[in-house]
Amino acid sequence: MSRPARLTPSRQPAPGVHRLGDAVVNFYALEEPDGLVLVDAGLPGHLGQFDHWLAASGHAREDVRAVPLTHGHPDHTGLAHALQRDGAEIWVHEADAPILRRGPRSALRLAPSERSPLPYLLRRPAGLGTPLHLARRGAFTARAVREPRTFDASGPLPGVPGAPRAVPLPGHTPGSTAYLFAERGLLFTGDALVTHDGLTGRRGPTLVCRGFTHDSEAAFAALDRLEALEAATGAGPLLLLPGHGDPFPDGPCAAVAQARRVGRP
């Protein structure tokens, strides 16, 4: 087993929120009075890091109450089977649930990308580092999750600590979803809006390029719903915590404005 990555203060973007994963993939642990919540589940190769963080924080895997997944891609679901086995409820939009049930390799068939990654790699060969990293960290070796909890519309996830609201944003995958923790001013966007695209190398708020996105037109349209969340909360800018890249502190409106300027890469 590789040595677990050390966590630094920069990996805690808000009180009680811990950014896990690595330079390519984020997942997040939230400490709530009723237990831990993980938003996304990283890669299988992150299990050692996660266990190290749990021990350092005085927690155990059994403290994880729920794992809301932003979508079914294998770089966001890698620890889901192990955490479910240890008692956590795994949540995912019903449109992406078949990927979990059939295993990570099914993502290529059930939610294929709109374009081949090859043209992007020809323009920027360094982008090959991202899929190679995912493969080395076991993206396609995770075990299936047989009975995830599912939802099909915007609304709270019953019984999940922190009372997150699921906000479906289809496009990156059919079931792509953001999670709003309104009382904490946190918005987890998964890959519906990121601040780093490993294939193109772009940094700053953007849609994931069409080489890794199922329906870019739908993903672009979903930005309207994301933008509306800021006004709906009435609590000032939300902290955006994406599946790839650094947190974005200026809220959905500013992030969406930048992503619209980029368009559909």
**CA 13, CA 110: separation in Å to the nearest integer?**
34
What integer best gives the mean pLDDT of the chain? Answer: 93
Does any domain span residue 2?
Answer: no
Residue 3 lies in a domain: no
Mean pLDDT of 65-72: 98
- pTM, two decimals, is 0.94
Mean pLDDT confidence for 83-90: 97
Domain-located, residue 104:
yes
Q: Percentage of the chain surpassing pLDDT 70?
A: 95
Answer whether residue 198 is part of any domain.
yes
Cα 134 off chain centre by: 14
Domain that holds residue 62: 9-262
Q: What is the pLDDT of residues 141-159, one digit of tens each?
A: 999 999 999 999 999 999 9
Instruction: Please answer whether residues 203 and 131 qualify as being in contact, where contact means their C-beta atoms are separated by less than 8 angstroms.
Output: no
CATH number of the domain encompassing residue 40? 3.60.15.10
Residues 6+ positions from 242 with CB-CB distance below 8 Å: 26, 188, 189, 190, 191, 193, 194, 195, 196, 248
Burial of 224 (C-beta count, 10 Å sphere; 0-12/13-18/19+): exposed
Res 55 pLDDT > 50: yes
Mean local confidence (pLDDT), 211-231 = 94
pLDDT range class, residue 1, cuts 50, 70, 90: very low
Phi then psi for residue 38, to 5 deg, are -105, 130
pLDDT band of residue 6 (cuts 50, 70, 90) is very low
Both tokens of 121, joined, read 């790699």
Number of separate domains in the chain: 1
Q: Do the bridges between strand 89-93 and strand 149-151 make them parallel or antiparallel, or are there none, so unpaired? A: parallel
Average pLDDT of the residues in 190-196: 98
The answer to whether residue 107 sits within a structural domain is: yes
The reply to whether 224 falls in a domain is yes
Q: Rounded to whole angstroms, how far apart are CA atoms 217 and 52?
A: 40
pLDDT average, residue stretch 165-191: 97
Residue 3's pLDDT band, with cuts at 50, 70 and 90, is very low
Asked, for residue 1, whether it belongs to a domain, the answer is no
Q: Are 91 and 69 in contact (CB under 8 A)?
A: yes
> How much of the chain, in percent, has pLDDT values that exceed 90?
89
Q: Is the per-residue pLDDT at 5 higher than 60? A: no
**pLDDT greater than 50 at residue 7:** no
Q: 11: pLDDT confidence band, cut at 50, 70 and 90?
A: confident
